[in-house]
Structure 1
Amino acid sequence: MNTQTMTLGRAQLSAIEQTDEPSLVEALRDIAPDLASLAIGFVYGEIYPRPGLDLRHRQLVTVAALAAMGGLEPQLRFHLAGALHVGCTPVELVELMNHLVVYAGFPAALNGIAAAREVFAKQGVAVNAGTPAPDQGGSRFEAGLARLREIDGEVGERVLASLEDIAPDLGRFIIEFAFGDIYTRPGLDLVSRELVTVAALAAIGSATPQLKVHMHGLLNVGGSREQMVEAIIHLAAYAGFPRAINAALAAKAVLTERPPERH
């Protein structure tokens, strides 16, 4: 790593951590100082300054990936704090965990909330539970179907059709719970929801068909090709290059399926 990259990386990490000196340097000084240098120089000196994804969305993508993978609580807490430092709100971070229920399961979401609670307490952040989602009443299915069509379009409807002869109730749960209960909630805009969905599915690494559906969804709701590709590049630092490469190939397939004007 050259001096300029290291200097830029230290400044970027210090801004996220809100410290004069990144804690990673001292934490690894006696065991793996070169690992600290590699992380600072590459992740924060080369990846974070790239255009295409703002710092707020980079932290949301990072939190989603770490929470979805599970077992990474120290890093998750670090980036939850970093998300607050760069302008994400507690409501957004809590809603991100609510959203992950659909893609990473309740255990991952519960562990994510526990980490968020610790960070909020340490930061002295008042936690506002947010505005409750509107009661859909008898229109829950209709509200979910409308939201699914808005986000995933024909691709989402094909997923539902594929379940009709084997697990029709699973299709109904996708509509009523995932899209009727979760996607209609306040707290995260649709582009952010689809970005964190893409991040979580790419980080999990074993859900390529669903990843492609939500790459389409991200583009359908106003996310850009640049945001999608940059989120994948960003994930190389947290989920590894193999998963990032697989996600990039999925994105390539999705873009090939779409007319250029819908990129």
Structure 2
Amino acid sequence: MQNGNPKVHIIIFLVISLFSISNTTDAQNNTGNHQSLSEKQQSIVLISAYTAIGDLEKLEPALRRGLEAGLTINEIKEVLVHLYAYCGFPRSIRGLNTFMGVLDERKANGITDELGPEASAIMDQRSKYERGVETLHELTGEEWGNPESGYGAFAPVIDTFLKEHLFADIFERDLLTYRQRELVTIAALSSMGGVEPMLGGHIRIALNIGVTESRLQQLFSIMEANVGKEEAHTGLEVLSQIMISRNQ
């Protein structure tokens, strides 16, 4: 090589340099994509937020966007069903009715959306309370027995409902992953406002099951752009305090 044509050396150097730059750029892009919410996840955030606050006018295009991003009909139905545990039956049912209208409209326009699979049957023979306790342990990494203080001790029946229904009946359904369910929940709670302790609890769960800080920051950026600055800033503040406490 030392005795070769200098022009050839220059060309080889340029090719190697360009290849190196391309690889570096691809790696940066891959890292960025890894830290970003997918189109499906972004749609889940918007569907959840608009349903929780009852903004049906904005919910309609969010539902269309979800379908176009690749969410199945059953996945979106599951998002809307999951939400009733956090924003109540009225909001959930209005969301479902809105979704029915969107699907009818798309069908009339010749658009066929994918139905997707149904939830798998639950084969676990343990009591729902036991299953709910186990789900909570998977989500939080903590042990959950009978509460000795707080709202659960004050009103034991709500502790039972929480573990048997929310974390067994709902969270066990495999149409959505735990991470997807936490995106649904965090978007709903942050858009509703006034429930910061519960929002903080679900942010901790999301972090515990692998939702990154940057994805949660993006969630609140989506909230700021589409729902409201106050709601987004409250969520970011809760997230910031949690990260400070985790890093101490």
What range is the shorter-chain TM-score in?
0.7 to 0.9
Decide whether aligned partners of structure 1 residues 245 and 158 sit closer, same or farther in structure 2, where only a CA change above 3 A counts.
farther
What are the superposed Cα offsets for residues 155-213 of structure 1, whole Å, 9 maximum, x if unpaired?
A: 97798842243111111111011101100002111111111111110000111000000
**Residue among 118, 121, 137 paired with 2:101:** 118
1:128 deviates by 5.7
Could you tell me which residue of structure 1 aligns to residue 42 of structure 2? Answer: 58
The answer to whether the aligner puts 1:69 opposite 2:53 as a matched pair is: yes
TM-align CA RMSD: 2.4
Between the aligned partners of 1:203 and 1:133, the Cα distance in structure 2 is 32
Between the aligned partners of 1:98 and 1:160, the Cα distance in structure 2 is 31
Q: Which amino acid aligns with 2:187?
A: A
Corresponding residue SS for 1:147: helix
Q: Which deviates further from its counterpart, 129-138 or 237-246?
A: 129-138
Corresponding residue SS for 2:153: coil
What are the superposed Cα offsets for residues 103-141 of structure 1, whole Å, 9 maximum, x if unpaired?
A: 111111111111111112222236467235526555211
The answer to whether the aligner puts 1:150 opposite 2:138 as a matched pair is: yes
Between the aligned partners of 1:133 and 1:78, the Cα distance in structure 2 is 32
Could you tell me which residue of structure 1 aligns to residue 67 of structure 2? Answer: 84
The answer to whether the aligner puts 1:187 opposite 2:170 as a matched pair is: no
Could you tell me which residue of structure 2 aligns to residue 204 of structure 1? Answer: 192
Q: Which amino acid aligns with 1:58?
A: Q
For structure 2, the 5+ residue unaligned runs are: 1-32, 108-112
Between the aligned partners of 2:141 and 2:84, the Cα distance in structure 1 is 22
Could you tell me which residue of structure 1 aligns to residue 3 of structure 2? Answer: none
**Residue among 214, 232, 235 paired with 1:247:** 235
Decide whether aligned partners of structure 1 residues 108 and 141 sit closer, same or farther in structure 2, where only a CA change above 3 A counts.
same
Between the aligned partners of 2:138 and 2:93, the Cα distance in structure 1 is 28
Between the aligned partners of 2:244 and 2:143, the Cα distance in structure 1 is 14
Q: Which deviates further from its counterpart, 135-144 or 250-259?
A: 135-144
Paired residues of 2:136 and 2:167 also in contact (CA < 8 A): yes
Paired residues of 2:139 and 2:208 also in contact (CA < 8 A): yes
Between the aligned partners of 2:145 and 2:221, the Cα distance in structure 1 is 29
Decide whether aligned partners of structure 1 residues 186 and 250 sit closer, same or farther in structure 2, where only a CA change above 3 A counts.
same
Matched length: 210
Decide whether aligned partners of structure 1 residues 197 and 155 sit closer, same or farther in structure 2, where only a CA change above 3 A counts.
farther
Moved over 6 A (4+): 155-160
Q: Which amino acid aligns with 2:83?
A: L
Decide whether aligned partners of structure 1 residues 184 and 57 sit closer, same or farther in structure 2, where only a CA change above 3 A counts.
same
Q: Which has the higher contact order (CA 8 A, sep 6+)?
A: 2
Between the aligned partners of 1:157 and 1:238, the Cα distance in structure 2 is 40
For structure 1, the 5+ residue unaligned runs are: 1-48
Paired residues of 1:149 and 1:157 also in contact (CA < 8 A): no
**Residue among 139, 152, 155 paired with 1:167:** 155
Could you tell me which residue of structure 2 aligns to residue 178 of structure 1? Answer: 166
Q: Which amino acid aligns with 2:104?
A: A
What are the superposed Cα offsets for residues 206-228 of structure 1, whole Å, 9 maximum, x if unpaired?
A: 11000000001111111111111
